[in-house]
Amino acid sequence: MHARARNYVSESEVCKLESVPLDFGDYHPLKPITVTESKTKKMTRKGSTSSTSSSSSSSMMDPLSSVLDGTDPLSLFAAAADPVTTAPPTDGARRKRDKDESSAVGSDFEPWSSKRGEILARYTTTEKLSIVSGGKATTTGSAVSEKVRTRLEELDDLEEGSQKELLNLTQQDYMNRIEELNQSLKDAWSSDQKVKALKIVIQCSKLLSDTTVIQFYPSKFVLITDILDTFGKLVYERILSMCVDNRVSLPDNFSPESVNDTAKETCLNWFFKIASIRELIPRFYVEAAILKCNKFLSKTGISECLPRLTSMIRGIGDPLVAVYARAYLCRVGMEVAPQLKESLNKNFFDFLLTFKQIHGDTVQNQLVVQCVEIPLYLTLYSPAIDWILQCIAYHAPDCCDDALLLNSVMSAFRAEFIAARSMDFIAMIKECDESGFPKHLLFRSLGLNLALADPPENDRLQILNEAWKVITKLKNPQDYINCAEVWVEYTCRHFTKREVNTVLADVIKHMTPDRAFEDAYPQEKFLPFLDMFQKESVRVEVCKCIMESFIKHQQESTKDPVILNALLHICKTMHDSVNALTLEDEKRMLAALINGFIKMVSFGRDFEQQLSFYVEARSMFCNLEPVLVQLIHSVNQLAMETRRVMKGNHSRKTAAFVRACVAFCFITIPSLSSIFTCLNLYLHSGQVALANQCLSQADAFFKAAVSLVPEVPKMISVDGKMRPSDAFLLEFLCNFFSTLLVVPDHPEQGVLFLVRGLLNVIQDYTWEDNSDDKIRIYTNVLHLLSAMTQETFIYHVDKVDSNDTLYGGDSKFLAEINKLSETVVSQILDHLKTLGKEETLKRQSQLAHYFFNTIVAHGDLRNNRLNQLSVNLWNLAQKHGFADTKTMVKTLEYIKRRSKQPDMSHFTDLALRLPLQSRT
Amino acid sequence: EVLSGVVVITSKDTVQHQGISLTMEGSVNLQLSAKNVGVFEAFCNTAKPIQIINSTIEMVKPGKLPSGKTEIPFEFPLQMKGNKVLYETYHGVFVNIQYTLRCDMRRSLLAKDLTKTCEFIVHSLSQKGKLLPSPVDFTITPETLQNVKERASLPKFLIRGHLNSTNCVITQPLTGELVVESAEAAVKSIELQLVRVETCGCAEGYARDATEIQNIQIADGDVCRGLPIPIHMVFPRLFTCPTLETTNFKVEFEVNIVVLLHDDHLITENFPLKLCRM
């Protein structure tokens, strides 16, 4: 058999279609249709958020007062047991003063007086108290014990030298005693014994440093600060009265300049006296009590004093004593200068700083000694903290501060404390200004607390409802997920599946269709959040949602390690959900999602990183074949990309890298179960290897493909239906042969080793009985062989010497090809003969025509034998009337047209020898 | 400066007198504390009052004063003899600087001379020039302590802090900060002890006496670790004066930061102060 010589270049020139310049950059027919959709995105987002209802109009109650309202069992009990406390000893003057106070800060500020009674009623004790007192109160005859005497020596001597430590007082006695002290203070003052009055006050405030019988401390604080208030008022009024010039008293908002020197001097004297009080706590309280008197000295006096007193409290070691000192300072500060918020805040922050002390040894030891449990102990703080917060929150200039404080409260306090008051906190959070500190952070903080400690049983559902109402309205997905992740845990802890489902449904609803996930996942908590989805199916659903939106919204490839890590985790979760029972559809979907992710990963020029990512992905997703396929393609692409970057000239390093890529493919492909996938991948990878000058690797691929061909089953499942595989095989083999043209022969194997091998395999393959595929393949092999005889092959792989260069048209090589061709031709002819039966005549005709075409196209028809063969085939095709006349006519026309070309004159003869059979 | 005022004489009838004079005296009295007397017996001689200023003026020549109330105004220039310095009035335990004004009415032999004495206070003028703040940082650990008997038995602690200045204006409080960074034993109390050190001396020797004049507690109980505690102390008006240094005597001030731990360890850190009036 003789192949005709071809000049591919000139042929292509002749055959080429008229070339139309195309702009490949913009338009590619296969490119998916993309719509620029910034507008649509917005729309959808809007749509999804408006679905949530708003109903936060529940009535607001004062969060602070509600803590202490009548339902508190303690206060109920106390009210019943102790009739006096229900009517706290408020004399007319005091009440009047309270009124004055509150008018200074506005009537909406809950005054101290209303707190006072609550505290007294709540913090009671049945234990015996002791008091060190001076003045007239000592007439009650209690025996002077040894202890008293030693105490006497320690104490600064009061003028009368008559103070005693009174032991074993009941609470009621104690309160009476303090009231007596209050009275004796007033008496001393009115009888002009100023020093004695001061000493009484100092003695009283000293009592506040004593924390024995700790559960009574808040009440003690209330009682003693009453005395301090009285004292402060007395001093103030006294100095004010000294300022009366010409019987005209000073206006309310006088300036220090209008105060005369005597009054100033007196005032200064008070401050000097107080400054020399030895002990810290009395010094603090007394100075705070007369804080208002600073007004006489200078305009800035109070604003300078408050911060100083605030930091002075830091010296108080006992946290309980300190917090009450802060509460007192805030109280006085609010009275005197409600506009000075900074010290209030500073007080609060200082308190937060020292809060850790509660768990320190000193406090714990004290509690053990007094047999007080931590929860009870913590409640002792609440009046003071509530008060401080109320002061801070009152007319807060911008709510930002307010919310900030709330947030720090929630993060600083023990979770139990917060949990017990979560309803109040929710109310407060809802009250906060939208423009200030972000609410979602507040809810998040609250949620964190609730995850740690349980709120009261009855409130639980309401808490969830209230909180979720707000959370679900959050527009920003990141804010939303930040909150939601925390609250899901709470929901899981306390509620049934139904609630959890509702919550999850909401989460999914928010996070699915149009959420920009790429923003959400870098959150470190994101993965733990996912882990909270206990039920695997739900978790996988969520993962799928995430991946869908990722693929949909991720515009450009990424290499962010956080994102990669998170998504790998998600993909892994999805992958791990695959088991024997998983539906094909499901698998395909998961695989598509994972593939989408893999395609979005790009490390740019860091090819090695990219490869190692693929390796990692392979180990993670080994159960999903489509993912493996994608990985192989990706790796191949990577290799080609490397080649492109190196412009085909691999350096030693890139060559090694490319070989690594090839090796990756080579070991991955066998793990696939679909044989055609394997074959195609072998072929594809072989081509890549060839393109990258990895000749032996390419050989290995092709050999593997060849040896795999016999295993191709007759029927394969395509889209769930069983189909004969021959069409696929045919297609593959044609493709394969085309590739083999450029594959150079292995120096140690025989000529056309691979082609021969493949032919042998085809020969041995058990073809379908009534199919002509084998012959079609043989015919196609002839195409290949004819191409191989050309001096220069029709195509080449850059930088790879194909057989045309290797053999340089060597006659031995050509002879080999000829031998091979003849074998193939004889195979074809044998087959044609077997088709001579009635029922196979049509196939025979078709095959003959096909073969004829091949010869006309590729054979050298000047060769007589070939010429004769073609004529015979032509006749055979028409012999039994099965030939399609139209095709025959066209073929003939083609031959005639060809004959007009130069060097094709022999076609004219041929055309004459080809009779056209008429239909009749 | 000029000391001015009026002498008021009230009488029912006319008063005969041999002249009225005013005497201004200023002196430093040094006393030795009992414990030092034995040691420095020879010292007694030198411890006699040192006169700073002494001058007399004749107000009224001998004659008669009319009945009723007579007011005689006077002005007295405060001028030092030579290059002596006019110290500020000061009443300490061992050092006293006192200024008096004495009015004497000499009378005939039949009647006793009348004398009236009155102390006046000398406040030095504010010192010129700016007071340079001299901040001091301090760290107290068991290792920094002196006079420790058994260092091993000490609990570990680290107290850091600073005084904003050891050069203090007497009318301004002493300020600073103190941080208990760590302490094994619980803190019981932290106090500021203002100590006055009076030194009397001459060539033969000297006597040095320290008196606590004020003690201010700045921390009570086991304070929070790592939280700065303010140091704030107002100087007591009666017991302090600008730091004084002369050849014969000195009045100096020191502040001790006293940390009392729960196991009754007492840690003291001393800082000399320099007070002045601005």
Residue A29's CB: how many other CB atoms inside 10 A?
Answer: 5
CA B21 to chain centre: 31
Mean pLDDT value across residues A75-102? 39
Q: What is the pLDDT of residue B274?
A: 86
Cross-chain residue pair A283–B221, CB shorter than 8 Å: no
Mean pLDDT value across residues A495-499? 69
Instruction: Identify all chain B residues contacting A314, using CB atoms and an 8 Å cutoff.
Output: 219, 223-224, 227-230
Residue A388 has pLDDT above 80, yes or no: no
Distance between CA atoms of residues A167 and A172, nearest Å: 13
Cross-chain residue pair B221–A318, CB shorter than 8 Å: yes
Q: Which residues contact A594 (CB under 8 A, 6 or more apart)?
A: A547, A571, A574, A575, A621, A624, A627, A630
Distance from CA of A316 to the nearest CA of B (A): 5
Distance between CA atoms of residues A893 and A900, nearest Å: 11
Higher pLDDT, A381 or A14: A381
Instruction: Identify all chain B residues contacting A317, using CB atoms and an 8 Å cutoff.
Output: 187, 219-224
Mean pLDDT value across residues A139-158? 41
Instruction: Identify all chain A residues contacting B215, using CB atoms and an 8 Å cutoff.
Output: 278
Q: Which tokens in the block code for residue A48?
A: 């999804």
Distance between CA atoms of residues A829 and A870, nearest Å: 12
Cross-chain residue pair A272–B236, CB shorter than 8 Å: yes
Distance from CA of A635 to the nearest CA of B (A): 57
Residue B72's CB: how many other CB atoms inside 10 A?
Answer: 15
Distance between CA atoms of residues A517 and A538, nearest Å: 18
Mean pLDDT value across residues B22-40? 68
Q: Which residues contact B80 (CB under 8 A, 6 or more apart)?
A: B52, B53, B86
Residue A43 has pLDDT above 80, yes or no: no
Residue A655 has pLDDT above 80, yes or no: yes
Is-contact A630 A680, C-beta < 8 A? no
Is-contact A221 A387, C-beta < 8 A? no
Mean pLDDT value across residues A459-485? 74
Cross-chain residue pair B222–A281, CB shorter than 8 Å: no
Cross-chain residue pair A317–B221, CB shorter than 8 Å: yes
pLDDT in tens, A390-421: 777 665 544 445 566 666 666 656 666 677 77
Q: pLDDT-based confidence at A107, cuts 50/70/90?
A: low
Amino acid present at A781: V
Q: Lowest mean pLDDT: which of A170-179, A520-529, A683-692, B167-176?
A: A520-529
Mean pLDDT value across residues A528-544? 65
Cross-chain residue pair B224–A209, CB shorter than 8 Å: no
Residues of chain A whose beta carbon is less than 8 angstroms from a beta carbon of chain B are 209, 271-272, 275-276, 278-281, 283, 308, 311-312, 314-319, 321, 350, 353-354, 356-357, 360-362
Cross-chain residue pair B219–A316, CB shorter than 8 Å: yes
Q: What is the pLDDT of residue A373?
A: 74
Q: Is B170 on the interface with A (CB under 8 A)?
A: no
pLDDT in tens, B67-107: 888 888 888 777 776 666 777 888 877 778 888 888 888 88
Q: Which residues contact A336 (CB under 8 A, 6 or more apart)?
A: A291, A292, A295, A302
Of A311, A315, A362, the CB nearest to B186: A362
Q: Which tokens in the block code for residue A397?
A: 């200039």
Q: Is B212 on the interface with A (CB under 8 A)?
A: no
Mean pLDDT value across residues A13-17? 62
Q: Which tokens in the block code for residue A465?
A: 């409802």
Distance between CA atoms of residues A454 and B119, nearest Å: 75
Of B222, B234, B236, the CB nearest to A317: B222
* Helices A361-370, A374-393: crossing angle, 10 deg rounding: 120
Residue of A nearest to B239 (CA): A276
Cross-chain residue pair A278–B215, CB shorter than 8 Å: yes
The torsion defined by the Cα of A811, A816, A821 and A827, in degrees rounded to 10, comes to 160
User: Percent of chain A, pLDDT > 70?
Assistant: 72
Instruction: Identify all chain B residues contacting A280, using CB atoms and an 8 Å cutoff.
Output: 216-220
Instruction: Identify all chain A residues contacting B159, using CB atoms and an 8 Å cutoff.
Output: none
pLDDT in tens, A831-877: 888 887 877 888 888 888 888 888 888 888 788 888 888 888 888 88
Higher pLDDT, A385 or A58: A385
Is-contact A677 A705, C-beta < 8 A? no
Q: pLDDT-based confidence at A72, cuts 50/70/90?
A: very low
Q: What is the pLDDT of residue A160?
A: 39
Distance between CA atoms of residues A686 and A868, nearest Å: 40
Q: Which residues contact A517 (CB under 8 A, 6 or more apart)?
A: A477, A511, A546, A549, A550, A553
Residue of B nearest to A310 (CA): B230
Cross-chain residue pair A276–B236, CB shorter than 8 Å: yes
Q: pLDDT-based confidence at A36, cuts 50/70/90?
A: very low
Distance between CA atoms of residues A524 and A562, nearest Å: 9
Q: What is the pLDDT of residue A682?
A: 92
User: Percent of chain A, pLDDT > 90?
Assistant: 2
Q: What is the pLDDT of residue B167?
A: 85
Cross-chain residue pair B230–A308, CB shorter than 8 Å: yes
Residue A520 has pLDDT above 70, yes or no: no
Q: pLDDT-based confidence at A525, cuts 50/70/90?
A: very low
Residue A152 has pLDDT above 50, yes or no: no
Q: Lowest mean pLDDT: which of A166-170, A272-276, A376-380?
A: A166-170
Q: What is the pLDDT of residue A404?
A: 62
Is-contact A907 A898, C-beta < 8 A? yes
Q: pLDDT-based confidence at A685, cuts 50/70/90?
A: very high
Residue of B nearest to A363 (CA): B222
Residue of A nearest to B172 (CA): A272
Cross-chain residue pair A314–B221, CB shorter than 8 Å: no
Q: What is the pLDDT of residue A140?
A: 35
* Listed ranges A35-49, A75-89, A325-339, A518-532; the one with the highest mean pLDDT: A325-339
Give the max Cα distance, chain A: 152
Residue A766 has pLDDT above 70, yes or no: yes
Residue of A nearest to B178 (CA): A315
Of A209, A275, A354, the CB nearest to B220: A209
Mean pLDDT value across residues A228-240? 84
Average pLDDT, whole number, for chain A?
Answer: 73
Which segments of A337-398 does DSSP mark as H helices, in order? 341-354, 361-370, 374-393
Distance between CA atoms of residues A264 and A276, nearest Å: 19
Is-contact A526 A520, C-beta < 8 A? yes
Q: Which residues contact A107 (CB under 8 A, 6 or more apart)?
A: none
Q: Is B257 on the interface with A (CB under 8 A)?
A: no
Residue of B nearest to A269 (CA): B237
Q: pLDDT-based confidence at A307, cuts 50/70/90?
A: confident
For chains A and B, CB pairs below 8 A equal 79
Residue of A nearest to B233 (CA): A275
Residue A622 sits at φ, ψ, to 5 deg, of -70, -10
Cross-chain residue pair B223–A353, CB shorter than 8 Å: no
Of B216, B222, B237, the CB nearest to A272: B237
pLDDT in tens, B180-212: 888 888 888 889 899 888 877 655 566 777 888
Q: What is the pLDDT of residue A526?
A: 54
* Listed ranges A508-517, A762-771, B13-22, B190-199; the one with the highest mean pLDDT: B190-199
Residue A183's CB: how many other CB atoms inside 10 A?
Answer: 16
Q: Lowest mean pLDDT: which of A83-87, B147-151, B191-195?
A: A83-87
Q: Is the dihedral of CA A546, A548, A551, A552 positive or negative?
A: negative
Distance from CA of A281 to the nearest CA of B (A): 8
Cross-chain residue pair A281–B234, CB shorter than 8 Å: no
Q: Which tokens in the block code for residue B62?
A: 């001998």
Q: Which of B31, B73, B74, B83 lies closest to B53 in space, CA to CA?
A: B83
